[in-house]
């Protein structure tokens, strides 16, 4: 395994992060525990979860994923071997069964206390804001809609104050963003620069893959100049970059098959790009999945690459990507495809 550090901290984390979004829906508890056992044995010490998980979110499955992780901590005693990240859900339709009060002081405290209880731990190493409260472009929206109704009042100072107090109490160690824009990222960073008692955002968890490299447009410069590390999610584009959906008959238990509305990476242009990437990988004796993950691993702004799997075979292949070195020829081939079909699945 290769390791990095959460920026501006001494916390050493694996460059491969174990994602948990399917546990409790596509994976049962035994399978989740098997994944954690194997990942830890392979040197993966960084796990990411959220109160929203499993996804697609359902009221009756609220925060089941955190409960499965907490049961594993209790069973194995491995809490001290894991750097643990979780998230508070932002407001909106996907989280209406959780709360409708956004990132108010009470909401953040409630979310942290709930996660701690379910995870059966006294602290969370990295606590993230799952998506912004304000109206902005994330989850596949290409551009900012200046005419959208937005009742958000700038409460970033208050959010950071609440997080500061939770850090002081020892309930969380560090904080991060997710699904955030360049404006939002800089707004949080500047607030903590001007008011130095407020905590600094350490990481940003955004999508990044061969099919969606929009992080490079504005956020990569912020990430590198400000040292706020990318935790890349969906590096395989909901499994599309494994190539398994290129067959005439899609795999029966796969995510996009089970949940057809998860089609962000499955449009015609994305499929065309995926076919080209698959041909490039085959030409160089690589699996498409490992080439796609290894590409993400090479990025200078990456802190950790969040992989997810529903089978042990997938998990092993994904973790082994850390040992795949891409030749200059492969990297040049990737750039050629990207120039021809840029960001087909934003």
| Positions marked active-site | 53
Alpha carbon 50 to its chain's center? 10
Query: What is the C-alpha separation between 133 and 107, in angstroms, rounded?
Result: 12
Overall size of the chain counted in residues: 346
Tokens of 102: 């956004």
Query: What is the C-alpha separation between 62 and 72, in angstroms, rounded?
Result: 18
Residue 14: CA atoms inside 13 Å, Cβ hemisphere, count?
A: 27
Angstrom CA distances, 331 to 87, 198, 209, stand at 34, 40, 14
3-state secondary structure of 64: helix
Let me know the angle formed at the C-alpha of 234 by 303 and 80, rounded to the nearest 5 degrees: 50
Peptide bond into 54 cis (omega under 30): yes
Residue tagged 């490079």 (tokens): 216
Q: For residue 273, what are the contacts with CB-CB under 8 A and spacing of at least 6?
A: 210, 211, 337, 341, 344
């Amino acid at each position: 395994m290769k390791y990095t550090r959460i920026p501006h901290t001494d916390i050493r984390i694996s460059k491969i992060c174990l994602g948990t979004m399917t546990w409790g829906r596509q994976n049962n508890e035994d399978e989740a525990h098997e994944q954690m056992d194997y990942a830890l044995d392979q040197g993966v010490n960084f796990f990411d979860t959220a109160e929203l998980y499993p996804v697609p979110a359902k009221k009756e499955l609220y925060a089941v994923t955190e409960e499965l992780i907490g049961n594993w901590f209790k069973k194995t005693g491995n809490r001290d071997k894991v750097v643990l990240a979780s998230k508070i859900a932002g407001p909106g339709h996907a989280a209406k069964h959780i709360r409708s009060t956004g990132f108010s002081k009470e909401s953040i405290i409630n979310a942290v206390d709930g996660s701690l209880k379910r995870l059966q731990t006294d602290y969370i190493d990295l606590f993230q804001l799952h998506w912004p409260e304000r109206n902005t472009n994330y989850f596949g929206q290409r551009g900012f809609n200046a005419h959208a109704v937005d009742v958000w009042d700038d409460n970033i100072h208050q959010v950071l104050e609440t997080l500061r107090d939770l850090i002081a109490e020892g309930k969380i160690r560090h904080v991060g963003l997710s699904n955030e824009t360049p404006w939002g990222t800089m707004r949080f960073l500047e607030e903590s620069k001007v008011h130095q008692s407020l905590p600094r955002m350490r990481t940003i968890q955004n999508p990044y893959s061969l099919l969606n490299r929009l992080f490079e447009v504005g956020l990569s410069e912020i990430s590198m100049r400000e040292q706020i590390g990318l935790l890349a999610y969906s590096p395989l584009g909901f499994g599309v970059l494994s190539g398994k959906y290129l067959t005439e008959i899609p795999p029966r238990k796969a995510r996009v098959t089970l949940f057809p509305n998860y089609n962000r990476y499955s449009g015609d242009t994305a499929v065309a790009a995926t076919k080209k990437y698959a041909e490039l990988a085959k030409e160089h004796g690589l699996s498409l999945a490992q080439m796609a993950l290894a590409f993400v691993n090479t990025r200078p702004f990456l802190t950790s690459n969040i992989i997810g799997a529903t089978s042990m075979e997938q998990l092993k292949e994904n973790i082994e990507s850390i040992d795949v070195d891409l030749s200059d020829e492969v990297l040049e081939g990737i750039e050629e495809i990207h120039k021809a079909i840029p960001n087909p699945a934003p």
